[in-house]
Chain A
């Protein structure tokens, strides 16, 4: 009788404690793990994910506060080229895509197809209007595309300096908003990033 009481008590404690533990729904070899895509990455001092994310957030929030965009109700914007003038390969389209996504999610701006997506747009309209496969009443008409009020363009530049084991990289990302009709620059901003690495062990 005394033994069965002890077993019951032990079981109760085990059940209570199991509330603190969780089982992970994973199947792993132990060599691969998921990390935080938003973590600060400092593996090397080349252009990295944190730089891309920081630039995109900074530029999107600055652009959303631009009086030029605020004064017009949901203006139409297109993305022109961001020139890479650094010594390394940087996918500037990826940066502008992130900026565009953040701005579109705000619901305050609309985006027209940019030059890189124009061929796809033309192909789709041609298919709907000239292939003979679509009902005329249901196909999207040619000649109804809207011209963008503004275009976004910019540059990314870098200055790299090395002294002994120390390497210093300075990035400057400049973006501007240009009124397509008047050709005037309505907004501009810059984001600067400095990264320094030291190979020395001591």
Chain B
């Protein structure tokens, strides 16, 4: 039995595993299922997320908590999805918001069309770990 025969195969599998993510998918209905973080934010957290239909349009409110003693910058945008999971209304612009030290900031947004039934909140803070969430 030549173990050396398997060494290249093991190396290849290890290298290929770098292309895949091992993080388990978030629980449906949880905040994490609706929030997409571009790298793990060090001091900002989405602590509350609620959505309701008003005048046929999905209205979303998110609460951002700053746990740091310095003000923190947040960039965010929403992705709006229809019942089939298709994006509605094109890409939103990134919006900057300043979250004061130890304060909670509320973000509100209204879906661009009555077809919207679901959403994702995409957030990024310059002060982050750089690791994938």
Measured CB to CB, the residues of A under 8 A from B are: 9-10, 12-13, 16-17, 19-20, 36, 38-40, 49-50, 53-54, 57, 60-62, 64-65, 67, 70, 102, 105-108
Which of B22-30, B43-51, B63-71, B105-113 contacts its partner? B105-113
Q: Is the CB of B77 within 8 A of A38?
A: yes
Q: What is the total of A-B residue contacts with beta carbons within 8 Å?
A: 74
Dominant secondary structure at the B interface: mixed
Specify which chain B residues have a CB less than 8 angstroms from the CB of A60 in the assembled complex. 112
Given contacts A9-B8, A65-B57, contact A39 B94 (CB under 8 A): yes
24 interchain pairs, CB-CB under 8 A: A9-B8, A10-B8, A12-B9, A12-B12, A16-B12, A17-B16, A20-B18, A36-B94, A38-B93, A38-B94, A40-B94, A50-B95, A53-B93, A54-B93, A57-B93, A61-B109, A61-B110, A64-B110, A65-B55, A65-B59, A70-B55, A106-B114, A107-B113, A107-B114
B16 and A16 form a contact (CB under 8 A): yes
Query: Are A12 and B8 CB-contacts (below 8 A) given A19-B19, A64-B55?
Result: yes
Pair B8/A64 contact, Cβ less than 8 Å: no
Name the one of B12, B15, B96, B114 contacting A50, with C-beta atoms under 8 angstroms.
B96
Q: Roughly how many angstroms separate A62 CA and B77 CA in the complex, as a whole number?
A: 16
Kindly report which residue of chain B lies nearest to residue A8, judged by CB atoms.
B8
Q: Closest residue to A38 on the B side, CB-wise?
A: B93
B114 to chain A: which residues have CB within 8 Å? 106-108
